[in-house]
Structure 1
Amino acid sequence: MKVWVKDCLMEYVKSERKRLGLPPTQKVILILDCWAVHRGDPFRDWLKKDHPTIILIFVPGNCTCVAQPCDTRVNRILKHLIKSACVDYLAKITQEQLQNGVAPSNIVINTQPGTLRDASTAWLLHAWNWFQDRPEVVLGAWRDTKFANWDLSYETLTSPRCRTLVYERFTEDPAFCLAISSQIPSDPDFKELHNPEYDDDYALDPSVLCDIRPGALPPDVVEHDGQYDYIGDDDLE
């Protein structure tokens, strides 16, 4: 699993971050089933330590057939493609021996690890190329992963309905908000600005001010000469 995360998952994540113009600290959701290795402390501790941007989510036991995108559509097709390529490979070897005069009862298939390793690589590549030419099949797997009237498609997860629900959870469920916030990795470029050199609101996003109403300021924030000053814990100054 460590090799897969390092050489496959993170390489893909890096390319997607670059393609989408996202920072290196952009969070990633990894959905895994409840296999013992996935749930084991060694793997989870290593993942949290070496790859803190990954949020690990487990599909409940016995639910992968409806709650894991790969199982709802992709795996069935993938296994069929590999099986078909394997049968074609065996048929080709058999036909070659028959054409060379080998009796059917004397046909031998080389099952040495090295031979099967090289052959199976071609089977996997065949399946990979098939999916590359049909991205709609993979996207459809996320739409097929449904829970009542929700699914895991990009359209649903970025819809106004979903955004509204997330906003409500963050504003109405402090425990949920803290649980999510605690998983945000520290930004190496972040600097504390609680000092006299940064005591004005120049860098404040104007949209934040839209929610401030007269008489509704927090007890540790006061308005002074058109600016908002923090007068709370002196240790922060």
Structure 2
Amino acid sequence: MTLQTGTLVVLRHGQSIWNRANRFTGWSDVGLSVQGVADAQRVGERLREAGFRFDLAVTSALLRATDTLAHVLRTLEQPPPRTVRSWRLNDRHYGMLTGMEKDEAALAYGAERVRQWRRGFDLAPPALDADLHAALVRALHDDAMPHADALPRTESLRDTLRRVLPLWDECVAPALTRGQSVLMVGHGNSLRALFKQLDNIGDDAIASVEVAHAEPLVMKFDATLSVISRTPLAALAASR
């Protein structure tokens, strides 16, 4: 018999106002769009209907993730779980691309170069100006975040993975090992980075991995925290 640990529900935040505007967001602290709020409420309703209750919630220091979590928990109608808000789950830092409209970036740097920065594993966009980076960090209001000088001003997906892993190792993995149910609300790139590690996805293959907005993924693990199943919530609900 395979021994199982707790359950992890992974969720990318609802649509943000810059997702709607087709801009590179990264560490810019923009909020949810009207659709994004509706997305989050819908997820909460679906989780409630499926009978989920969470012992731990983990999210980033960015509003679009923390607000998504707040709407989900409010709609879920359960006592608030222990919540960890960490910059380590922030979206990838997009450096000089931050705030640029994506078609504008393709014209400025070349479409193929921008594609490599977006989808590749090792390449990072040009670093953001130090003053602009410091302003981004100040806006996050996360007391546990290091000083801006100690943080990257751009990141590859590899860099993103390196900063996400301590959160997994120190917070999420122990909770799962204790048999707890965990809700993780993150970002497309921080979640892609984590999936690369958990699923042992190759450096080239990670380019094709997509994480949709507001589509929960239910993950089960064995006693060694190897993934034994990953099921979209919609498919799980349909099978009941």
Fold equivalence (TM over 0.5): no
- Which one has a bigger Cα radius of gyration? 1
Q: Which has the higher helix share?
A: 1
Q: Which has the higher strand share?
A: 2
Tell me the TM-score normalized by structure 1.
Answer: 0.28
